[in-house]
Structure 1
Amino acid sequence: MLAACARGRRVAVAMREITQGDICAAARVLLAHPKRDWPPLMAQMLYEAHVADCYRKRFGRAHPRLGTGSLMSVALARGPVPVPVAADSASLVATGAVIAAVLVWRADRQRKAWLCDESPFPCCAQRPISAPWHKHPFCNSRISR
């Protein structure tokens, strides 16, 4: 998996490695919201973690608002609920939702990295420009034919 945002000809497809602590912290955030809000909330948290990681890689320090680029730093900034009982069915459903969202996000980023010649995130686009180009309608990034 390519993970270098601001280096060479690589395209960013992931922020920092996701640990069990990241998953638990994100699940605790989800528990504070209704289930219908979980998918967009997870997408936003993953996007913020990615942007913070790109910032960290480029400037060598944590993002002032989004943290270090880990999912946990983004989740803890949102004020998660207290740690639930491990066997609580709601916490298990939330944990499953986090894992599913991470898998979808990674698959989507890998697909975009394969389709596109540059990252859709401006903070990651450090690649030399070459012709011919056209705009790819799916991800608004340029790809060569």
Structure 2
Amino acid sequence: MSRAVPPAFRRALIACAAALVLPAALAAQEAAPTGLSLELNAQEQLEKGCKLSFLARNSFDGDIAKAVFETVLFDSDGQVERLTLFDFGTLPAGKPRLRQFVVPGLQCDALGQILINGASTCEAGALGAEACGNGLTLSSRTDVEMMG
């Protein structure tokens, strides 16, 4: 025999569940870091060089109009292969952006590490020029280590 759950009991259960879930959701939202993150997401060998794909996330409250990073590429032995500039362009707030760069003459399997040496250009309006450097988070989904 099945019994119907009284409406008052049902409301009490929903209120208890909300009391448990809502604070955790708010804490997770507050704990989300504010800043800029760059992830080396993929690399692909092309005839003319190595294509590097970066996923950029701007979690600031404002857009970054232009971000150019001085980037050092190291070979698998740790020696500098080259120093270059990667222009990530506009990075709107709250919207991930994929940026791809083909490095001419570079063999992807010879790449060991990437150092983001700093922002060569950072036009970030009210966020200030330091928005591209302070709190920059780097990660990689490849075997190539990201440093900064």
Class of the TM-score when normalised by the shorter of the 2 chains? under 0.3
Greater strand share, structure number = 2
**Which one has a bigger Cα radius of gyration?**
2
Greater helix share, structure number = 1
TM-score (norm 1): 0.26
